[in-house]
Amino acid sequence: MTASATKAGPVHALVDRLRQGDTRALARAISLVENEAPEARALLSACFPHTGSALRIGVTGSPGAGKSTLVDRLARAFCEAGRAVGIIAVDPTSPFTGGAILGDRIRFQERSGELQERPGDPARSGGGSGFYARSMATRGSLGGLAQTTADAALVLEASGKEIILVETVGVGQDEIDIARLADVTLLVLVPGMGDDVQSLKAGVMEIADIYVINKSDRDGADRVEQEIRALQSLAPAQTTAWSPPIVRTIATTGDGTRSLVEAITSMDQWLRSGDHLAERRTRHWQLRLSTMLRTELMRRARRNGMADDQLHDHAVCVASGHQDPWQLIADLSNRLFEQES
Amino acid sequence: MTASATKAGPVHALVDRLRQGDTRALARAISLVENEAPEARALLSACFPHTGSALRIGVTGSPGAGKSTLVDRLARAFCEAGRAVGIIAVDPTSPFTGGAILGDRIRFQERSGELQERPGDPARSGGGSGFYARSMATRGSLGGLAQTTADAALVLEASGKEIILVETVGVGQDEIDIARLADVTLLVLVPGMGDDVQSLKAGVMEIADIYVINKSDRDGADRVEQEIRALQSLAPAQTTAWSPPIVRTIATTGDGTRSLVEAITSMDQWLRSGDHLAERRTRHWQLRLSTMLRTELMRRARRNGMADDQLHDHAVCVASGHQDPWQLIADLSNRLFEQES
Q: Which of A83, A25, A15 is nearest to A55 (CA)?
A: A83
Residue A283 lies in a domain: no
- The 3-state DSSP class for residue B213 equals strand
Task: Report pLDDT digits (tens) over A238-287.
Answer: 667 899 999 999 999 999 999 999 999 999 999 999 899 999 999 999 98
User: Which of A199, A296, A326 comes nearest B333 by C-beta?
Assistant: A296
How many C-alpha atoms does A339 have within 13 Å on its Cβ side?
14
Assess whether B17 and B130 both reside in one domain: no
Beta B246-248 vs B210-213: how paired, if at all? parallel
Backbone angles phi, psi at A32, to 5 degrees: -60, -45
Assess whether B126 and B44 both reside in one domain: no
Residue B181 lies in a domain: yes
Task: Report pLDDT digits (tens) over A45-88.
Answer: 999 999 999 999 999 888 788 998 999 999 999 999 999 999 99
Assess whether A128 and A208 both reside in one domain: yes
Assess whether B262 and B202 both reside in one domain: yes
The pLDDT score that the predictor gives to residue B147 is 86
* Positions in chain B short of pLDDT 50: 1-7, 93-110, 113-129
- The number of angstroms, rounded, from the C-alpha of B270 to the middle of its chain's C-alpha atoms is 22
Assess whether B283 and B308 both reside in one domain: no
Q: Residue A295: closest CA among chain B residues belongs to which residue?
A: B294
Assess whether B77 and B216 both reside in one domain: yes
Task: Report pLDDT digits (tens) over A205-246.
Answer: 778 999 999 999 999 999 999 988 888 887 766 667 899 999
Interface residue B297 vs chain A (CB under 8 A): yes
Tell me if B318 and A285 make a contact (CB, 8 A cut-off): yes
Assess whether A87 and A191 both reside in one domain: yes
Rounded to the nearest angstrom, the minimum Cα separation between A177 and chain B is 10
Residue A267 lies in a domain: yes
- The 3-state DSSP class for residue B188 equals strand
Contacts of B45 in chain A (CB under 8 A): 324, 326-327
Residue A121 lies in a domain: yes
The pLDDT score that the predictor gives to residue B99 is 33
Q: Residue A42: closest CA among chain B residues belongs to which residue?
A: B326
How many domains are contained in chain A? 3
Tell me if A325 and B203 make a contact (CB, 8 A cut-off): no
Residue B294 lies in a domain: no
Assess whether A74 and A14 both reside in one domain: no
Q: The whole model's pTM is what?
A: 0.69
Give me the torsion for CA of B158, B264, B292, B1, rounded to 10°. 10
Residue B298 lies in a domain: no
Assess whether B238 and B127 both reside in one domain: yes
Assess whether A190 and A45 both reside in one domain: no
Burial of residue B7 (number of CB atoms within 10 Å: 0-12, 13-18, 19+) = middle
Tell me if B45 and A289 make a contact (CB, 8 A cut-off): no
- Best of B93, B180, B326, B331 to substitute, by most chain A Cβ atoms within 10 angstroms, is B326
The pLDDT score that the predictor gives to residue B61 is 87
Residue A144 lies in a domain: yes
Assess whether A16 and A145 both reside in one domain: no
Task: Report pLDDT digits (tens) over B223-282.
Answer: 999 988 888 887 766 667 899 999 999 999 999 999 999 999 999 999 999 899 999 999
Structural domain containing residue B152: 51-287
Report residue A199's pLDDT band, with 50, 70 and 90 as the boundaries: low
Q: Any bridge partners for residue B90, and if so which?
A: B136
Residue type, B15: V
How many C-alpha atoms does A39 have within 13 Å on its Cβ side?
21
Contacts of B319 in chain A (CB under 8 A): 278, 281-282, 284-285
Rounded to the nearest angstrom, the minimum Cα separation between A127 and chain B is 24
Tell me if B319 and A284 make a contact (CB, 8 A cut-off): yes
Tell me if B278 and A319 make a contact (CB, 8 A cut-off): yes
Q: How many CB pairs under 8 A join A and B?
A: 197
Q: Is the pLDDT of residue A109 over 70?
A: no
Residue A308 lies in a domain: yes
Report the CATH number that the domain containing residue A214 is assigned in CATH: 3.40.50.300
Task: Report pLDDT digits (tens) over A133-175.
Answer: 888 766 555 557 788 899 999 999 999 999 999 998 776 677 7
Assess whether A10 and A119 both reside in one domain: no
Q: How far apart are alpha carbons B308 and A289 in whole angstroms?
A: 8
Contacts of B289 in chain A (CB under 8 A): 311, 314-315, 318, 325, 328-329
The pLDDT score that the predictor gives to residue B260 is 98
Scanning chain A, the segments in alpha helix (DSSP H) are 2-19, 23-34, 40-47, 67-80, 102-117, 122-125, 144-158, 173-179, 221-234, 257-272, 276-303, 312-319, 325-340
Q: Does the CA dihedral B301-B306-B309-B315 come out positive or negative? A: negative
User: Which of B96, B283, B329 comes nearest A296 by C-beta?
Assistant: B329
Q: How far apart are alpha carbons A331 and A339 in whole angstroms?
A: 12
ipTM for the predicted complex:
0.82
